[in-house]
Amino acid sequence: MPGMDTGSFARYLGRMDRVELAELLRVRPEVRTAPVPDGPGALAERLSGRGSLAAVRLVSRDAVAAGRAAAGLGSEATVDAVAALTGGRRDAVRSALGELRRVGVAWPDGEVVCLVSPVSAQWKRANGHMEVTGPPAVEPGRRGADGELRSSVQHLLRVAYALLDTSKPIVGLRRGGVGVQERKRWGAALGLDDDYLLLVLDLLFAAGLLAQVGTAFEVTARYERWREATPARQWAELAWAWFWLSHSPTARRSAAGSKVESSHSRAARWAVLRAGRGGVSVEAVADAAYWFCPAVHQHAVGVVREATMVGVVAGTALSACGEALLSAGDTEALAASVAEVVVPMRCEVEVMDDLKAVVFGQMTVEAARVLEASAESSVEDGARVWRFTTASVRAAFAQGWTEGSLLASLNELTQHNVPLALRVLLGERGRGQVRLREVRCCVVAEANVITEVVRLPGFAELAPTVAGSAMAPSEVVAQLRAEGFEVVDDPPSGSVIVRRPRKARVAAQVEQVEPEAVDLPDLGSDGSSTTQIVRGRNPMLSEEAVALLVGAIDGQSDVRIDYVDGKGESSTRTITPTGWDGPFLLAWCHMREADRVFRVERIRAVSPAGP
């Protein structure tokens, strides 16, 4: 059967030129994971794996029709035979089969079209024949003006700066991500709707600029390098992260930045934007997604919405930045391609007589540092403004600023245009009302930890890094330790120093399993059947469920399971078992689009995978 001859596939890959091979590896990034294939043979084997089933989501309806016909024809799958079976023109059939070759699921062996085994097997089970019709007519797009493109790119970067430069903590949920109430708070502060905030938070998380530590999000070690880069490089890293996201940030409402199910959004993103090249209307492509990407057509509208937010689409067509994104091989190449479009803009701060400040151009690190320390941010008429108040100036002095240092920084930012009203405010910083509060114990910690502490009964915030309590120090220590904080008592000062224990960050989010002693027969011995193993590990499964799971394990076929992970979170997913690793079941997870390890005792129900 043609789909089984990986030898001819390897020979075909060995004849590909560098440009074609680079494009194939860009479309199928999963084949480049370690160990990296060291030759055409290893690459052919990797391309022929279960990941090929996800790759066919990238192709058009005609490609699916031609592929299904080729699978049914087997060794007789020539272009003419496929054209006769699908009723398509030879040029349309050739184009459709070319799509399959470009995503690494088909190749020519002489006159015969061959398919990788998983795709061939799936399409052989499909009922009926589909026609090759050729693409639908798509109207030309209206490319937005350069100003429209620059505006969307600059807005994205401004919001990213606002979230990364802030001294205020972004409070996350204990289960991960940023919850609805916290997003509402930030949305109100920055004048953003929830969709846009969701998008930017997820991009910062995916680009490795934000990470969750405990219940707070903090900037990572990559932040300083990114913040000091050119706007073109900053945008390139965010746009690249968006292009390869496996989910659609604006399609969910649970928690931004959290670990979520893999979806078909990345495939829809790739297919819609590719079809939109050449100046056609991306919106029209989305309307005709039933043809351009039938497997993921329901995600097409979301792709256009997010692409416009990121600056990949301007007007109704791909922008210059969008075209560059589709052609670039990495973020460096992308940054170089958009350098003439995404240009640096001089940062200018204007402070008005009413003590409001507005920033024009690109917010610099220094401007963000000064304004965050000494002014209160708000949104007026859709624009972010900073207001200097007695309280904000006192807060700056409490952080170590002096009248001289703050005035010098503001003079530099405003080109020596600090109004008299602000100079007077800085000079009178120590006057005004003073509030007294009696406390028996002070808690000293980082600002994000204090945010958690003051949520507990009996604590009040005295400063961003200090909380007070009327309880005795010993009672405070006991209560905070019970809540999971690390506490150091300092009897001479009457203070309690607190910090959250930080866990080591992992490089990739993978489902972990915790090994434990198990009483199982030797899985490699002749005396243990799959049925015995499954029953031994999960006696709660019904006979029908055991039979379905055993059949899938022995036949390495698809099956749907209801599964509870180590955190107690439930999910329903389709898996394809591939073997055992001690007591653990190895399988290809269709939801994650990757190999995963499962504990049989955590499977709650089993059902057929369906068509």
**Quick one: which of 437, 496, 490, 483 has its CA closest to 457?**
483
Q: Quote the pLDDT of residue 7.
A: 83
Q: What is the pLDDT of residues 418-469, one digit of tens each?
A: 888 888 888 875 444 345 567 788 888 877 788 788 878 788 877 777 888 8
pLDDT at 538 over 50: yes
Cα distance between the two ends of the chain: 23
Q: Find how far residue 248's CA is from the centre of its chain.
A: 8
The CA-atom distances, in angstroms, between 546 and each of 452, 519, 579, 607 are 46, 19, 16, 10
Q: Quote the pLDDT of residue 491.
A: 57
Q: Quote the pLDDT of residue 44.
A: 93
Residues 6+ apart with CB under 8 A from 257: 172, 176, 177, 178, 201, 202, 204, 205, 210, 212, 217
Which of 171-185, 313-327, 406-420, 565-579 has the highest average model confidence (pLDDT)? 313-327
Q: What is the pLDDT of residues 581-593, one digit of tens each?
A: 667 788 888 877 7
Q: What is the pLDDT of residues 358-377, one digit of tens each?
A: 888 778 888 888 988 889 88
Q: What is the pLDDT of residues 501-535, one digit of tens each?
A: 543 333 333 333 333 333 333 333 333 478 888 88
Band (610; pLDDT cuts 50, 70, 90):
low
pLDDT at 611 over 60: no
Specify whether the CB–CB gap between 413 and 349 falls below 8 A: yes
Residues 6+ apart with CB under 8 A from 111: 78, 79
Q: Quote the pLDDT of residue 260.
A: 40
Ramachandran region, residue 106 (left: φ > 0; alpha: ψ -120 to 50; beta: rest): beta
What is the arrangement of strands in the sheet containing 356-360, beginning at the earlier edge strand? 348-351, 356-360, 383-387, 376-380
Ramachandran region, residue 248 (left: φ > 0; alpha: ψ -120 to 50; beta: rest): beta
- Answer with the residue of higher pLDDT: 584 or 42: 42
pLDDT at 1 over 50: no
Q: Which phi and psi (to 5°) does residue 356 adopt?
A: -95, 140
Band (603; pLDDT cuts 50, 70, 90):
very high
- Answer with the residue of higher pLDDT: 235 or 383: 235
Q: Quote the pLDDT of residue 454.
A: 81
Specify whether the CB–CB gap between 70 and 1 falls below 8 A: no
Q: Quote the pLDDT of residue 400.
A: 82
Average pLDDT on 51-60 reads 90
The residues that bridge with 178 in the sheet, in sequence order, are 256
How many whole angstroms separate alpha carbon 559 and alpha carbon 314? 43
How many whole angstroms separate alpha carbon 257 and alpha carbon 198? 8
Specify whether the CB–CB gap between 314 and 148 falls below 8 A: yes
- In the numeric block, the tokens 């080109």 are attached to 415
Q: What is the pLDDT of residues 548-574, one digit of tens each?
A: 998 888 877 889 999 988 777 788 898
Percent of the chain surpassing pLDDT 90: 32
Q: Quote the pLDDT of residue 369.
A: 86
- Answer with the residue of higher pLDDT: 239 or 35: 239
Work out the mean pLDDT of the chain and round it to a whole number.
82
Q: Is the preceding peptide bond at 35 cis, omega within 30 degrees of 0?
A: yes
Specify whether the CB–CB gap between 582 and 521 falls below 8 A: no
Q: Quote the pLDDT of residue 258.
A: 45
Residues 6+ apart with CB under 8 A from 453: 443, 445, 459, 467, 480, 485, 498
- Answer with the residue of higher pLDDT: 115 or 211: 115
pLDDT at 539 over 80: yes
Dihedral sign for Cα atoms in the order 355, 356, 358, 363: positive
Q: Quote the pLDDT of residue 415.
A: 83
How many whole angstroms separate alpha carbon 460 and alpha carbon 201? 29
Specify whether the CB–CB gap between 242 and 259 falls below 8 A: no
DSSP 56: G
The residues that bridge with 552 in the sheet, in sequence order, are none
- In the numeric block, the tokens 């031994």 are attached to 536
What is the arrangement of strands in the sheet containing 170-171, beginning at the earlier edge strand? 170-171, 216-219, 210-213
Q: What is the pLDDT of residues 164-194, one digit of tens each?
A: 877 667 777 766 677 778 888 888 877 888 8
The CA-atom distances, in angstroms, between 340 and each of 188, 321, 513, 518 are 33, 10, 48, 62
Q: What is the pLDDT of residues 96-145, one digit of tens each?
A: 999 999 999 999 999 999 999 999 999 998 877 899 999 999 999 888 77
